[in-house]
Amino acid sequence: MNVNNNMEMKKSKVLVVGELNVDLIYDNIEGLPIIGKEKLAKNFTFTLGSSSAIFASNLSTLGTQVSFLGKVGNDEFARTVRKSLSEKGVITDYIITSDKYNTGSTMVLNYNMDRAMITYPGAMEHLLAEEITENILVKFDHLHLSSIFLQKALKPDVVALFEKAKNLGLSTSLDPQWDPAEKWNLNLQELLPFVDIFLPNAKEFLFLTKSETIAEGLRKLEGKHKSIVIKDGDNGAHLWDGIKLISKPAFLNTNVVDCIGAGDSFDAGFIDLYLKGSDLLTCLQRGNIIGAVNTSCSGGTGAFQSKQQVVKIAKENFSFELT
């Protein structure tokens, strides 16, 4: 890929802050794991992982200029991460190398539409807010952050980070992702006023708001949010614009390879159009189709080798004309 030529065609500058790891993906596993016994998998994929990296890679493939800021070790996994991001056109100049911690990794056990994961966080836990300096932020139009619960050193200062970004004139988006500790202690009341697009999935939203229904959760956040986008699997996605909840149906794939990164790809499709000034409902539909395209290949970036491939999959698999 000729990165320099591609950059001339791209529209907006996005800084993605987040976790970095590789994925070791096992498919077609013969039964559930049992302590003391060995099970076989018929397929294996070694690829770039992490919610943030999948989002950055696929957003770049769709045509937006993207840089990444995260922390990796000084090891082979880190070289895989940098190489994979660079091949997708993502600028890696702001990635920090740690000689103290190894690069994170995730083992993914796929079972049809669901999966089990084991993550070694490594260096991703040690990115500090002070390393995301004002001198870096002012170079960008938009800040996106994913997987805040995996970034333990950054999490206490996440409100200050987003407030700083907004004060510098950036638009912002946040996909909280799953909390492995299942404590869900993220202060949305303080954070959301500085987040333009909040992108949880339905389960995450309910846990974060300690609610039984989406409507209950939205009532608890009344007056604190700008735009809340809730990804809801086969039920599509929902947009709360501060007045009403509007839904767009999912594009259902009858031949799912796996769902790894589908939510991150939804984010990429949504933010890509958002930065180009499209209305939020159009962005919502775009997120749904890009998330569906993701499920057509293994891993979070397999279906995003090029914009042309994405357009082809959208048309052939879902009868959707993607622009």
Residue 61 sits in a domain whose CATH number is 3.40.1190.20
42 is a domain residue: no
CB atoms inside a 10 Å sphere around CB 312: 14
Q: How much is the average pLDDT of 239-266?
A: 91
Distance between CA atoms of 35 and 274, rounded to whole angstroms?
47
CB atoms inside a 10 Å sphere around CB 310: 24
78 is a domain residue: yes
pLDDT at 119 over 60: yes
Lowest mean pLDDT among 92-106, 220-234, 236-250: 220-234
pLDDT score of 11: 43
Local confidence band at 221 (pLDDT 50, 70, 90 cut-offs)? very high
According to DSSP, residue 91 is labeled B
37 is a domain residue: no
113 is a domain residue: no
Share of the chain above pLDDT 90, in %: 83
pLDDT at 45 over 90: no
User: By residue range, what is the domain housing residue 152?
Assistant: 3-20+50-104+123-318
pTM here?
0.90
28 is a domain residue: no
Query: pLDDT tens-digit profile of 260-308?
Result: 889 999 999 999 999 999 999 999 999 999 999 999 998 889 899 999 9
- Give the CA distances from residue 262 to residues 52, 195, 221, 230, 276, in Å, rounded to whole numbers and listed in that order: 12, 22, 26, 13, 22
Distance between CA atoms of 90 and 70, rounded to whole angstroms?
13
Q: How much is the average pLDDT of 251-257?
A: 89
pLDDT score of 125: 96
Is 239 or 256 the better-scoring residue by pLDDT? Answer: 239
Query: pLDDT tens-digit profile of 127-140?
Result: 999 999 999 999 99
Average pLDDT score, the chain: 93
Lowest mean pLDDT among 34-48, 80-94, 103-117, 204-218: 103-117
45 is a domain residue: no
Q: How much is the average pLDDT of 179-196?
A: 96
243 is a domain residue: yes
Q: What is the number of domains present in the chain?
A: 1
Is 39 or 4 the better-scoring residue by pLDDT? Answer: 39
pLDDT score of 113: 67
Closest CA to 126 of 87, 164, 99: 99
Lowest mean pLDDT among 11-20, 148-157, 233-242, 314-323: 11-20
250 is a domain residue: yes
pLDDT score of 5: 38
Which residue spans within 196-248 are E strands per DSSP? 197-198, 227-231, 237-240, 245-248
